[in-house]
Amino acid sequence: MRKKIVAGNWKMNMDYNEGLALFSEIVNMVKDEITGQQQAVVCSPFIHLHSLAQLAKGYDKIAIGAQNAHQNESGAFTGETSAKMIKSTGAAYVILGHSERRQYFGENNELLAKKTDTVLANGLKPIFCIGETLDEREANQYFDVIKTQLQEGLYHLSAEQFGQVVLAYEPVWAIGTGKTATSDQAQEIHAFIRAELAAKYGQEVADDTTILYGGSANPKNAPELFAQPDIDGGLIGGASLKSRDFLDIVKVFN
C-alpha cells in the first residue's frame, strides 16, 4: 500500500524565527489531529532544517525536507549545500526539479538525474517534480513532456532505487496562480504516469509509488483532488505557510 503524503514547500519564505513559530504550530496540530497513516513533510529553506528536525523528534507523522541539493558530494561550490549536509540535519526528503528550479536556475533533466543519484546515495528521498508549462499544455504536448522528464531524470535508476522516489506532478500553469488543474485533469496525468511506471518498472513498483499533485491546492479543493484513485497527496506552496490551512489539507487523509 503506497504512502499518502502532504508536503509543504515554503519556497523562499519565513525568516528563522517565523519558520520555527510556524513549524511549532504545525507539530502541535499534527500531534493532536492526525489520526490516519499519512505523512506530513515540511520542506523549508536550509537555515531551518536542523531546528525543525529537532522539534519534530519523536513524531513519526511529520518529517522534514530540503528544497534542493547540489549534485556533487562536496567541494569548491561556494554557496551550495550538499545532500550529506542535508542528511546530517535530520531531514529525510529533498525536493528536486521543482519548476522554479528548472525555470530560474536552468536545471535540466540531465542535471536532475545526477542530483537524484547524489540524494539517494546519501539516504534521502527525492520528491521529484515533473509537469508541463501552459504552452506545452495548449500545444497538447504534455504527455510527451512528462514522459521525457521521467525518462531522462529517473529511468536510469534501478527498481530498488526508484522505490525511494516520491513523484510530484505540478502543472506549471497552476503554480501560485490560483488556477488548479481540475481533479479530472490531474487524475488523467497521474494515471498516465502510473501506467508509464508500470511499463518501465512493473505494476508492483508503479502501484507502490506515491504521486503527489501540486498547483494551487488548498483546503477547499484538496478533498476532491485527493479522492482521485491515482493522487496520493499534495505538494503545497502558498497554503503551507498557514498552519491551519496546511493541517486541514493533511487531515483530508484522516
Ligand X SMILES: O=C[C@H](O)COP(=O)(O)O
Catalytic residue among 70, 98, 100, 190: 98
Which residues fall within 8 angstroms of residue 23, CB to CB, at 6 or more apart? 42, 44, 48, 51, 52, 55, 56
Q: Please report whether residue 235 would count as binding ligand X according to CB under 6 A.
A: yes
Which residues fall within 8 angstroms of residue 237, CB to CB, at 6 or more apart? 8, 9, 11, 175, 176, 214
The span from the CA of 217 to the CA of 108, in Å, is 25
The span from the CA of 137 to the CA of 172, in Å, is 10
CB of 223 to ligand X, least distance (A): 16
At 106, which amino acid appears?
G
Q: Please report whether residue 134 would count as binding ligand X according to CB under 6 A.
A: no
Q: Please report whether residue 221 would count as binding ligand X according to CB under 6 A.
A: no
Which residues inside 143-202 make contact with ligand X, applying CB under 6 A? 170, 175-176
Q: Please report whether residue 9 would count as binding ligand X according to CB under 6 A.
A: yes
216 marked as binding residue: yes
Which residues fall within 8 angstroms of residue 137, CB to CB, at 6 or more apart? 171, 173
Q: Please report whether residue 237 would count as binding ligand X according to CB under 6 A.
A: yes
204 classed as catalytic? no
Would you say 168 or 206 has its CB closer to ligand X? 168
70 classed as catalytic? no
Of positions 27, 226, 238, 243, contacts ligand X by CB under 6 A:
238
Q: What sections of 142-254 are H helices per DSSP?
A: 142-154, 159-162, 183-201, 203-208, 222-226, 243-250
The span from the CA of 220 to the CA of 203, in Å, is 32
114 marked as binding residue: no
Q: Please report whether residue 217 would count as binding ligand X according to CB under 6 A.
A: yes
Site for ligand X, rule CB under 6 A: 9, 98, 170, 175-176, 214-217, 235-239
Which residue numbers belong to the known binding site for substrate?
Answer: 9-11, 176, 216, 237-238
Residues with a known catalytic role: 98, 170
